Amino acid sequence: MNKDKNLLALAAMEKLLKKSGAPRVSEDAKEMMRVVLEDYAEEIGEKAARIAQHSGRKTVKAGDIKLAVK
């Protein structure tokens, strides 16, 4: 994995997993959570950008993201 590509911190992944009830979290689990969330976020971003473009805008708005997730 390319460290330059990673946008989310591993510490944030650990916090999310612990908030979800995990008492302990392995490094592999934190890394996999980061990969999955970054991939999903990229998909949402691409859909939201298409929605904005279809609406004649360059700016992605909150509503575009909301629609992209549906």
Give the model's pLDDT for residue 1. 47
Which of 69, 6, 9 lies closest to 17 in space, CA to CA? 9
Q: Is residue 56 over pLDDT 90?
A: yes
Owner of token pair 């994995």? 1
- Mind listing the pLDDT tens digit for each residue in 36-48? 999 999 999 999 9
Task: Say how far apart CA 31 and CA 65 lie, in whole Å.
Answer: 25
Distance in angstroms (rounded) separating the CA atoms of residues 37 and 17: 12
Going from the N-terminus, what domains does the chain have, and what CATH number goes with each? 26-69 (1.10.20.10)
- Convert the pLDDT of each residue in 3-37 to its tens digit: 567 999 999 999 999 999 999 999 999 999 999 99
